[in-house]
Amino acid sequence: MSVANPIPLADLISLLRFNVSDRLKQDFVGKDQIIDLLLICAIAREHLLLVGPPGTAKSDLVKRFVLLLGARKDSGDLFEYLLTRFTEPNEIFGPVNIRQFQQGTFTRNIERALPRARVAFLDEVFKANSAILNALLTILNERFFYNGLEQVAVPLISVYGATNEVPEGDDLAAIFDRFLLRARTDNIDERQFLDLLSKGWGMERERIRIGRNEALLPVLDSLDQLGLAYDALERIDMVPVFDDYRELVRQIRAEGISLSDRRAVKLLKLIAAAALLRGASTAGPADLWVLLHIWNRPEQISALQAIVGPVVERAGGHAASAERDLETLARELARLEERAMAREAGRAYTPTYFGTLLHDLERTRQELIDHSAGRRGDDGRARWHDLLAQAERLTDAVLDRLEAEERI
């Protein structure tokens, strides 16, 4: 596919892992695995259902995630809506085109409605009426929308649905099945509450600053760049996990957890996305952790943990990742230096801008400190030493510039 402003795949994955995923994990307490699922579903162009009570940051997490991926607020990239049984189709798919209706043709003005969105967040998705749900089925699966007699292709990447409880009954089974992965999102436990207060207050302060024309800075230039990762999925070698996967599916079905052949095949794409995000070209047992989120009812979570958990843990857990090589880290430092030295026309730097930059610099510096090259006696150690020195000089330069900006 043609992508505006293409970047090397390794750099894209690095940005997604360390500048999107890690950034969100810094902001949202207890949501690490959900953040990984958001990213995996976006790469694989599949859909995720978040199940949990109101007030557990579902909407805020999705919105910040999409903005970091380069969505533009003024372009309709993100469509967000709270559904009820009284929601009408024109609220979701656009109002009826009155002029064409008067001429005997029924069409909708779909601009800035769901059929034109790249990412959607649908809260209480199962409360919609049958007219909306039936149209959603073709959008979620086939990626097209019937606008009158015309079949319109939709640019949808992923839909993130939210619900307080999973649906019961066959009437909602089809739409429920379209959400390939499901994740619980609950209020955090008492041990993390002080961390929640600290980070939550930091985000509230950021919202106050946004009112003074400061915005969340995107990591990608646009959502189009995400297509590079999607295209790379076909190059992931999946054969090494087929035996493990077949055995896990057998055990999952034996436990009474429904998993259709269609879902079993589509899940391979998500496993491939997990491998890609891990920095690997070959899928391994560690990437099978996504199977922890294929439950149909929350009470099945413990059974999936008992079946899938040991396989993933033996492989090092879902967070296991390949060490970034020195050249990748060198490119990362070059990007950080460009961010540090470039000034957007007509826009002053802000404390949030510098805070994000310093966070990324410190993470890269720490990664260099921990890098295996620093413990070897070969030529790579000299390269490692130079990069570490560069990271420390750049950090000092950014701190000096921040101090200068604060004096202005």
222 part of a folded domain: no
Beta bridge pairs of residue 51: 163, 184
Contact yes or no for 290/274 (Cβ under 8 A): yes
Co-location of 307 and 335 in the same domain: no
Contact yes or no for 253/259 (Cβ under 8 A): yes
Co-location of 308 and 342 in the same domain: no
Q: In the 8-state DSSP scheme, what is residue 116?
A: G
Q: Report CA dihedral (88, 73, 60, 51) to the nearest 10 degrees.
A: 40
Contact yes or no for 225/4 (Cβ under 8 A): yes
- Return the pLDDT at 342: 61
Residue 148 has pLDDT above 90, yes or no: no
- Return the pLDDT at 320: 39
Tell me the Cα Rg of the chain.
23
User: Could you give the CA distance from residue 206 to residue 350 in angstroms, rounded to a whole number?
Assistant: 11
Co-location of 26 and 154 in the same domain: yes
Co-location of 247 and 358 in the same domain: no
Co-location of 191 and 283 in the same domain: no
- Return the pLDDT at 16: 93
Co-location of 155 and 257 in the same domain: no
CATH number at residue 125: 3.40.50.300
Region of 16 please: left (phi>0), alpha (psi -120 to 50) or beta. Answer: alpha
Co-location of 54 and 132 in the same domain: yes
Contact yes or no for 1/227 (Cβ under 8 A): yes
203 part of a folded domain: yes
Edge-first strand order for the sheet with 78-82 is 78-82, 119-123, 158-163, 48-51, 181-184
304 part of a folded domain: yes
Co-location of 307 and 368 in the same domain: no
> Which whole number is the average pLDDT over 281-294?
96
* Structural domain total, the chain: 3
226 part of a folded domain: no
228 part of a folded domain: no
Contact yes or no for 151/139 (Cβ under 8 A): no
Co-location of 66 and 192 in the same domain: yes
For residue 26, count other CB atoms closer than 10 A to its CB: 13
223 part of a folded domain: no
User: Could you give the CA distance from residue 265 to residue 338 in angstroms, rounded to a whole number?
Assistant: 42
- Return the pLDDT at 376: 63
CATH number at residue 374: 1.20.58
Q: In the 8-state DSSP scheme, what is residue 293?
A: G
Annotate 36-90 with DSSP letters as a single string.
HHHHHHHHHT--EEEE--TTSSHHHHHHHHHHHTT--GGGT-EEEEE--TT--HH
Structure token pair of residue 82? 């709270």
User: Could you give the CA distance from residue 208 to residue 83 in angstroms, rounded to a whole number?
Assistant: 28
Co-location of 47 and 191 in the same domain: yes
Residue 347 has pLDDT above 60, yes or no: no
Co-location of 86 and 19 in the same domain: yes
217 part of a folded domain: no
pLDDT in tens, 221-261: 889 999 999 999 999 999 999 999 999 999 999 999 999 99
Contact yes or no for 7/23 (Cβ under 8 A): no
Amino acid identity at 132: I
pLDDT in tens, 61-101: 999 999 999 988 678 899 999 999 999 999 999 999 888 87
Q: Which of 167, 194, 210 is the last residue of a domain?
A: 210
Q: What is the pTM of this model?
A: 0.78
Domain with 336 in it: 326-407
Residue found by looking up tokens 């009812």 in the block: 297
Co-location of 30 and 81 in the same domain: yes
230 part of a folded domain: no
